[in-house]
Amino acid sequence: MKKFLRIAVGLMVMLGITLSLQPLKAQVYGEFDTIRIKTGISYQELGDDKVVIGPATFGLPPMWNTDLDDGYSSPNGIPIGFPFEFNGEVYDRLWICINGFVTFTPPPFVPSKQPNGLFIDAVSYPKNVIAPFWGDHVFRQLSERFNGYMPSEISVLRTDSVFVVQWKNLNIMDGSVKSSVGNFQVRLYRSKDPLSFQGDIEFCYGPVAGNIYDPGTIVVTKGASVGLKGEFNVQGGYSDFLNGLYYEKPPLEARTKTDLTNLWPPSKGATDNRIWFKALSRFNVDEWWGDGDVDFSKANPNRHLGMDQSRWVTVNDARIIMRSIATYTPLDSVRRRQAYHGDVNHNGRYYYDNNNVRTDIPWRDKYYGDNLPAEVSSIKRIFFQCNEYDAALILHYISARLPELPWLLDTVPQYGKIGAEEIANGFKFGNANLISEKTYRIPVYLNGYMKGAIGGKFKVNGELIDAASSGNLLVEYFGNNVVIAGSDEFDAQTPVCYLTVRSDKPEMSISEIRFNDIKVDDYKATLLTVEETNNAVIVNNYPNPFSLKTSFNLNLPKSGNYKLVVVDALGNTVKTLLDGYADSGNSVVDWDGTNQFGNKVESGMYLFKLTGDNVTVSGKLVITR
C-alpha cells in the first residue's frame, strides 16, 4: 500500500495540480471568474419573439398597485424557462424592476431607486440582484408621447439556452429630462454543465437618446450602479457584491469598490462590448459534505462520473488543500463548494455572528444544518473550512485505511498495546546544522509513534529555501510556511522532512505550529555563525536517546577521507557507518541500532567517533529498548 501511495504522489507531481485555487471573499464572489469584457458583438435588440410585459403589472408589494417609477413585474415573478443558480441557490423565476435590475428574491415593500443599494445590506433594499444599470428610472407609457416622452418597453425572451430581459427607451436617471433615454439588457445563459446550474451573465448596452418627441440631446448616465449583489454582509465586513465596472482588474477590487457609472455605455465605452460574468461551474450536491472531492473530478464525465469514491478521491484533492494552507489562500468556503467537500471530518463549519465576528461551530454532525446556533437565521450563513489534517485523512483513505469519506469517528484502533504517552502529539525539530554561510538544514521529527494520518503546518522566521519530504509524505511550502500531510507508520527517530533555511539571526523561531488540528507551542533554536564554528567539524545526532534509529548530521569544512564508527564502552567497534571520501558541507548518516552483522544491539551507552583529515570528533549515544 505504501508503494501505491508513493506512485500516486509521483504521478501527481508530474501532472501538476489541475485546478487553480480561487479564493473566496463572499458568496457571489465565489461564483464568477474575473469580470471581463466581450468585444465585437453588436447590440441585438429583441425581435418579434419577445414577450412584452404590460405596464399595468409593475407595482410594489404588498398591494401591487401600479407603479411606473419603482415597480416590479407581477407578484409571482417572471419564469426564466430553465433552472439558474445564483448565490448558492437554484431559481426558476425572477422579478424585474423598472429601476434597471432583476432580483431572485421577493421585492421589499419600499422603492429601491438608490443605486448604492447594490453595496448595502439592509431590509429596504432587494437581495440577490443582477443590475446592468441600477438607477432612478421611469417607465413612460405610449400616451406620454404627447408630453414629449419616448414610450418605454420592458420585455423578455426565453430560449432553451438564454433568458434575456430588455429595458427599451427607458427614461433613465432623471425623469425630468425627456431626452434621457437608454436601452440595455441582461442575459442569463443556461449552464452547459449537466451537473451544475451555474450559468454566465452578460450586460449589454444599446444606444442612448433618440427621443423623436423631444429635440433635446442631454442624456444622464452618471450615478448608476452596475454589478451583482448577494444576500448577506459577510467575511470581514464587506457586503456581498461584485462591482461590474471593475472588469479585467484584480478580483478583490470588484467587491470593495462602490464606484457608480460615469459615461455611457459602462461596457468600456462601446455598444459592441458586453460586461461578462463568467460562471465558475460548481458541483453542488448537499449530501456530499466532506466526500473529499475538492477538485470536483467526479463531475467530469470523461474521468470519474459514476465511478466509486475510490476513483475520484485522489492525491490531487490533498494537494489542493495543502497548497491553500501554505499560501494562506482559503478554498471556496460556501456550502457545496471546495472547502465543503474538503471538510472530511466535519469540524470545519463557521459563521459570522451579529457583530460580524467569525465563530466556529464545535460540533461534528452528519448534516451541516444540525446544531446551528440560534442567531444563524439561514443555512446560507454557514461557511466551511478544511486544513492539512483533512488532506491527511484523504491520503489515509487512498491508502485503504479508512472505509469511506466523510470520516466522523474520532479514532481508529491501530496501536495495540502501545502507551498513550508514546503516541505523537506534535513535532520535534532537530539541531540546526550549518551547511553554508547563514544557511542551515533542520530535520523535523514526530515526538512519538504514529500509525495513521498526520497533518501539520508551521512557519519559520527565516528564508525558507526548501522543505523536502524524507519518505512517504506530501510536503508543500510557500514563503516561510510549511504544510505536511500523509498516512503511514512513523517513529520518533526518523525525520519526516528536512528544512533548508537561510537566516542571519542568532535564533530561529518556528511558530503557528499545528499538529492534527491541535495548536502546538512555538519552538526556538540557536543558530551558529561560520565564525562561531571556527571551521570545526560539526557532528551531532538526533534523537538521543533513541530506540529505533538516530541520524548523524555532519558538517564538514572541507572534502576528504573520513571514518564514522560506533563503539561500545570497551572501545570495540560496533558498526562502521562511513569509511571513505566525503564532500564538504552538510550530510546525514543514519544508524538503525544494529551491529556489523545486522543484529540489534542491546540498550546502553555507546560512543561515536569521526576521524579524518587531521580531526577527531566523538560523542555519546544512548539506546533504550
Scan for cell 439588457, then name that residue: 185
Tell me: do 101 and 247 sit in the same domain.
yes
Domain range for 604: 537-625
Tell me: do 254 and 307 sit in the same domain.
no
CATH number of the domain enclosing 454: 2.60.40.680
Scan for cell 433594499, then name that residue: 125
Local structure of residue 530 (DSSP, 8 states): H
Q: Lowest mean pLDDT of 266-280, 508-522, 575-589, name the range.
A: 575-589
Instruction: Confirm whether 404 is domain-assigned.
Output: no
How many domains does the chain fold into? 4
Tell me: do 182 and 51 sit in the same domain.
yes
Query: Which residue(s) pair with 587 in the sheet?
Result: 554
Instruction: Confirm whether 9 is domain-assigned.
Output: no
Q: Lowest mean pLDDT of 281-290, 478-487, 528-537, name the range.
A: 528-537
**Would you say residue 398 has pLDDT above 90?**
yes
Q: Is the separation of the CB atoms in 92 and 79 below 8 Å?
A: yes
Q: Is the separation of the CB atoms in 311 and 344 below 8 Å?
A: no
Examine the fold and report which residue of 515, 534, 553 is the final residue of a domain before the chain moves on: 534
Tell me: do 307 and 164 sit in the same domain.
no
CA distance 184 to 131: 11
**Would you say residue 236 has pLDDT above 90?**
no
CA distance 370 to 388: 25
Give me the pLDDT at residue 281, please: 66
Query: pLDDT tens across 9-55, in order?
Result: 333 333 333 333 333 333 677 788 889 999 999 999 999 999 999 99
Q: Lowest mean pLDDT of 66-75, 376-385, 615-624, name the range.
A: 615-624
Nearest of 569, 563, 551 to residue 607 by alpha carbon: 569
Tell me: do 237 and 354 sit in the same domain.
no
Q: Is the separation of the CB atoms in 537 and 448 below 8 Å?
A: no
Burial of 308 from C-beta contacts in 10 A (0-12 / 13-18 / 19+): exposed
Nearest of 333, 337, 351 to residue 25 by alpha carbon: 333
If you average pLDDT over residues 99-115, what whole number do you get? 95
Instruction: Confirm whether 17 is domain-assigned.
Output: no
CA distance 408 to 551: 37
Position 338: which residue type?
Q
Give me the pLDDT at residue 381, please: 81
If you average pLDDT over residues 52-65, what whole number do you get? 96
CA distance 434 to 413: 41
Instruction: Confirm whether 4 is domain-assigned.
Output: no
Give me the pLDDT at residue 625, please: 74
Share of the chain above pLDDT 90, in %: 52
Q: Lowest mean pLDDT of 59-63, 86-90, 410-414, name the range.
A: 410-414
Give me the pLDDT at residue 11, please: 32
**Most confidently modeled range among 96-110, 439-453, 509-523, 543-557:** 96-110
Which comes out higher in pLDDT, residue 125 or 19? 125
**Would you say residue 300 has pLDDT above 70?**
no
Give Cα separations from 504 to 351, 357, 431, 434, 528 (angstroms).
Answer: 42, 39, 17, 12, 10
If you average pLDDT over residues 144-158, what whole number do you get? 97
Give me the pLDDT at residue 571, please: 81
Nearest of 488, 494, 489, 515 to residue 445 by alpha carbon: 494
Q: Lowest mean pLDDT of 393-407, 463-477, 524-538, name the range.
A: 524-538
Tell me: do 380 and 424 sit in the same domain.
no
Tell me: do 529 and 545 sit in the same domain.
no
Query: pLDDT tens across 456-505, in order?
Result: 999 999 899 999 887 778 999 999 999 999 998 888 878 889 899 998 88
Nearest of 445, 486, 442, 437 to residue 464 by alpha carbon: 442
Instruction: Confirm whether 331 is domain-assigned.
Output: yes
Q: Predicted confidence band at 534 (pLDDT cuts at 50, 70, 90)? A: very low
Which comes out higher in pLDDT, residue 287 or 155? 155
Q: Is the separation of the CB atoms in 405 and 344 below 8 Å?
A: yes
Residues 140, 145, 149, 152, CA torsion sign: positive
